Every structure is written in structure tokens, then in C-alpha cells.
């Protein structure tokens, strides 16, 4: 297809009558193609500009959202740290290598550090006793692999070397779908463990003599009898009482009777083995499983 441009004008004879038309034709195909290409370029540029405006608008919106999200994260982290500092337990965060990246104020107090001392960057394993460390390493590995662990008991070490019993709760810190560390709480349960030990002691021992009480003796004796039957071993049970003990109480008082019970208990303990089970069965009666 060829495009031409035409310029024409009538011409006249001397009498003024039109004689015909004088015209000039020239090929403008290349110019027309150039104009069309220019028009297409202008339209494409306009389309690109519109897309660019939309992209800029979206980018501005995304940037605003990112700023807002960052502000919300900072606010959330600030609230987290304020709340963490109010807790009586240790709150900590560590990286994937187990190095501390955050602790609350209580951590300094419980572990025996002053707040101007730098403990961030220290390995969390340094706070576990040698006996607990291997177990802690394994549990950290399992937690970072995504296995739910709940809580675990450990013996932990203060700065001065003293130890305390602790319950540790931890969960992975997720970032971009990856586990990048741990966040958890450490609870000092030393008093609770002491109370449990005390309650166990009260439940299993005689308050006066300090040896097993009747209930605990019967539990241990039942287990030993089952073991003896299974292994075809022999055992013996001796029941012992103090003759005329009531007379001691009536004549000299109950305090003297208590002294007699303690003296008798000590005498028996000197003559039995550590593996034998000795108990106060009640009153002036004692039971001995050999």
C-alpha cells in the first residue's frame, strides 16, 4: 500500500474560463509509516506511564504498609519487653547456635549478674550444669527441628557456681518460614522441689526416728517379695518391739519414751546392712526386712 499527498489548483485561459486542474503528487508512504510508528510509540508510552503510575502507587502503598508493619512490630516488641521485665521468671531468646540474643531483667537477678554486665552472646549451654548439658543440647536440637517438647527440668548454674533447679519452656522463633532460634521461659523451681522432697520425706518416714514409716515399708516389702519370688531369692522379715515400753512412758514420761525409741533405733541401725529395710511399724514396734 502506497500513501501519496496531493496539492492541486485550477488553471485558466486568458478569457477566465477554467481550463483544468494543475496538481502535484508525491509519495509520503515512509512519512505515513513513521507517523503511525510514532503514534504507536506514543500510545505504548502512555500505557507504560499508566502502568508506572499504578506501580508507583502500589509501591507507595506497600512502603506505607511496610512502615506501618515495622512500627507495629516495634510496638509489639516494646510491649513484649515491658511485659517480660514484669515477670518473675527468666525470659530469653537465642539464635540457632544457642547464643543469647535477649534476656529480661529477672535473668540478671536469678543468674547473679549485675545489669551492667554483658551476658548477651553467651551460649545458653553455659548456664546448664555439666549433668544437664547433654540433655539440653539434644532438646535444643529437637526443638529447632520442629519437634514439640513442652517443658523440661534441668539443673542450672549461677555466676557464683551455685546451682538451682529450673523448668524450661521453649519454642522456635520463626522468620520467613525458617526456625532461626528459640524463645522461652526459665522458672526457678528450687523451692517447689524442696517442698516436694519434704512432702515425700514426710509421707515415707517416721517423724520421730527418721526411718521409714509403716506405709512405705509395706510398699517396699511388697516389691522386694515380688523380686525374691521372680529371682528365687530368700528374704526374711523381723518384727521387733521393746518389752515393757509402756512402763517407761508411765514412769519417766513420754519424752523419756522417745529417747528410748531413738536409742533402740540407733542400736538396730548399727547392726544391720545398708541394703536392709528398717522401719518403725507403730508405737514401740519396728519391722526389719533382710
What are the pLDDT digits (tens) for 86-131?
778 888 999 988 899 988 888 899 999 988 888 889 999 999 999 9
What are the pLDDT digits (tens) for 144-184?
888 777 788 999 999 999 999 998 888 888 888 888 888 88
What are the pLDDT digits (tens) for 187-241?
888 888 888 888 888 889 998 999 999 999 999 999 999 999 999 999 999 999 9
Higher pLDDT, 1 or 100: 100
Strand order in the sheet with 237-241: 237-241, 285-289, 277-282
CA distances from 32 to 42, 43, 45, 50 (A): 15, 16, 19, 27
Q: What would the mean pLDDT of 253-262 be, rounded to a whole number?
A: 93
Please check the confidence at residue 58 and state whether its pLDDT lies above 70.
Answer: no
Nearest alpha carbon to residue 268 among 257, 280, 253: 280
What are the pLDDT digits (tens) for 59-76?
556 655 555 655 554 666
Q: Using CA atoms, how far apart are residues 184 and 172, in angstroms rounded to an integer?
A: 9
Q: Using CA atoms, how far apart are residues 285 and 265, in angstroms rounded to an integer?
A: 10
Nearest alpha carbon to residue 275 among 209, 208, 227, 214: 227
Band of residue 23 on the pLDDT scale cut at 50, 70, 90: confident
Q: What would the mean pLDDT of 257-270 be, rounded to a whole number?
A: 93
Band of residue 28 on the pLDDT scale cut at 50, 70, 90: low
pTM, to two decimals: 0.55
Band of residue 53 on the pLDDT scale cut at 50, 70, 90: low
pLDDT of residue 31: 61
Please check the confidence at residue 18 and state whether its pLDDT lies above 70.
Answer: no
Please check the confidence at residue 46 and state whether its pLDDT lies above 70.
Answer: no
Q: Using CA atoms, how far apart are residues 149 and 144, in angstroms rounded to an integer?
A: 10
252-259 own/partner pairs: CB under 8 Å, 24+ apart: 258/208
- Residue 127 backbone class (left: φ over 0; alpha: ψ -120 to 50; beta: rest): alpha
Amino acid at each position: 500500500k502506497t500513501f501519496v499527498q496531493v496539492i492541486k489548483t485550477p488553471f485558466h485561459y486568458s478569457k477566465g474560463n477554467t481550463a483544468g486542474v494543475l496538481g502535484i503528487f508525491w509519495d509520503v508512504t515512509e512519512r505515513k509509516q513513521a507517523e503511525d510508528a510514532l503514534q504507536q510509540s506514543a500510545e505504548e508510552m502512555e500505557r507504560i506511564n499508566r502502568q508506572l503510575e499504578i506501580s508507583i502507587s502500589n509501591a507507595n502503598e506497600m512502603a506505607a504498609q511496610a512502615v506501618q508493619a515495622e512500627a507495629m512490630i516495634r510496638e509489639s516488641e516494646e510491649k513484649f519487653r515491658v511485659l517480660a521485665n514484669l515477670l518473675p521468671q527468666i525470659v530469653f531468646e537465642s539464635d540457632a547456635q544457642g547464643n543469647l540474643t535477649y534476656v529480661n531483667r529477672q535473668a540478671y537477678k536469678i543468674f547473679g549478674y549485675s545489669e551492667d554486665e554483658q551476658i548477651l552472646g553467651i551460649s545458653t549451654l553455659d548456664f546448664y550444669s555439666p549433668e544437664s548439658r547433654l540433655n539440653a543440647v539434644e532438646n535444643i536440637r529437637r526443638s529447632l527441628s520442629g519437634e514439640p517438647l513442652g517443658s523440661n527440668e534441668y539443673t542450672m548454674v549461677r555466676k557464683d557456681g551455685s546451682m538451682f533447679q529450673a523448668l524450661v519452656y521453649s519454642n522456635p522463633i520463626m522468620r520467613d518460614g525458617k526456625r532461626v532460634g528459640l524463645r522461652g521461659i526459665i522458672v526457678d523451681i528450687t523451692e517447689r522441689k524442696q517442698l516436694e522432697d519434704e512432702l515425700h520425706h514426710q509421707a515415707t518416714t517416721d517423724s520421730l526416728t527418721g526411718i521409714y514409716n509403716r506405709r512405705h515399708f509395706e510398699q517396699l516389702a511388697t516389691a522386694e517379695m515380688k523380686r525374691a519370688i521372680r529371682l528365687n531369692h530368700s528374704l526374711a522379715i523381723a518384727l521387733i518391739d521393746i518389752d515393757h515400753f509402756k512402763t517407761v512412758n508411765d514412769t519417766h514420761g513420754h519424752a523419756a519414751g522417745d529417747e528410748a525409741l531413738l536409742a533402740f533405733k540407733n542400736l538396730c541401725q548399727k547392726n544391720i546392712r545398708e541394703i536392709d529395710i528398717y522401719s518403725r511399724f507403730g508405737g514401740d514396734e519396728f519391722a526389719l526386712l533382710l
